[in-house]
Amino acid sequence: MLPSADLTSTRPIASSALLRGTATVADPRQDGAVRLDQIAVGKALLAQVMSVLSDGSSLVRLSDAEQSASFSTALPTDTTPTTLSQAGRLIETLLQQTDTAPQKPQLQGAKPLLTAADTQTPQMTDKLAAQLHKTVDGSGVFYEAHLRQWADGQRTLAQVRSEPQNQTVANAHATAQVTVSNTQLLPLQLDSLEQQRFAWKGEVWPGQSMQWEVVQEDNAQHTGTPTAQADSAWQTVLTLDLPRLGKVSASIRIQGEHAQLQMRVHDEQAASELKAQTAILSEAMAASGTALDAVTVQSDEHAA
């Protein structure tokens, strides 16, 4: 069976015959857009070998969420030697290292997102959200997607050049730091692409650390059938060690305009304090356009 991909595209299979050639064109942005289009079509198809025909070729069926088509093609046999390029071998090695690593790759924040003075202002929440967005957007993890946006005129060249992949520095010591950072970025990018997952760790303000993970769920796991029309479901997990409440882990699942929240704390006192504030949280989320359907607060003390 050939490798399969998520059925997330509404593009009909017939469009695969209209793909443009891969020859390099004069405008690098257009050339990049062509290649990205081909990758997108490939990810949208599910291929299955149905049978081997009498002439030695194989009957292959391609399908997406709406339709399917069959054709015959010659497939490589087990004895056909396969050679990976240097880049392919590097990616394979990094994927294997990611799979066997005790911890999944995560982006490490270099400095606090907010200053101590920011935490005393009424705009603290808005500033924190803006800084988190800026940190993720400029991290370099989504560099290729930003290249596509630049090719489509949705992002400026200055914005693309500001990402880590394009940073240059004056002295050798700083250059080494940038090289290490870029080397670490590749496993992060591969993990984000393969697992639909993004993780960040750093200080939200001086002295207050946070771990943040965002995962896109597979809609088929919840609906039984893949569909491009269904709202994507996202799960985000925040882990903080707060001065008064201690360690708090909050898991939020968001789909469309609805959310469910599960929180875990160390003791019953912290759980009681959080439960007393759930009505305020629900009102705040409703004001932002998201309905908080369910809230669960558990303590490790009670579980023991």
What is d(CA 121, CA 209) in angstroms, rounded to the nearest whole number?
20
pLDDT of residue 263 exceeding 60, the answer is yes
pLDDT of residue 86 exceeding 90, the answer is no
23 Rama class: left (phi>0) / alpha (psi -120 to 50) / beta: beta
Q: Where are the domains of the chain?
A: 13-73, 217-304
Question: For residues 298 and 217, which has the higher predicted lDDT (pLDDT)?
Answer: 298
Residues 90-118 have a mean pLDDT of 74
Task: Convert the pLDDT of each residue in 227-244 to its tens digit.
Answer: 445 678 999 999 999 998
Neighbouring residues of 202: CB distance < 8 A, sequence distance ≥ 6 = 107, 108, 109, 110, 111, 112, 113, 135, 209, 210
Q: What is the pLDDT of residue 117?
A: 94
Q: What is the pLDDT of residue 227?
A: 46
3-state SS of 89-123 is HHHHHHHHHHHHCCCCCCEECCCCCCCCCHHHCCC
Q: What is the pLDDT of residue 218?
A: 63
Task: Convert the pLDDT of each residue in 133-163 to its tens digit.
Answer: 998 898 888 888 999 999 999 999 999 998 8
What is d(CA 173, CA 154) in angstroms, rounded to the nearest whole number?
35
3-state secondary structure at position 69: strand
Give the phi and the psi of residue 110 in degrees, each rounded to 5: -85, -30
Q: Which of 152, 145, 177, 153 is nearest to 164 (CA)?
A: 177
Task: Convert the pLDDT of each residue in 159-176 to its tens digit.
Answer: 999 888 887 644 433 433
Question: For residues 34 and 185, which has the higher predicted lDDT (pLDDT)?
Answer: 185
Q: What is the pLDDT of residue 54?
A: 74
The DSSP call for residue 19 is: P
pLDDT of residue 219 exceeding 60, the answer is no
Which pTM does this prediction carry? 0.59
Question: For residues 168 and 56, which has the higher predicted lDDT (pLDDT)?
Answer: 56
CATH 3.40.47.10 fits 217-304, yes or no: no
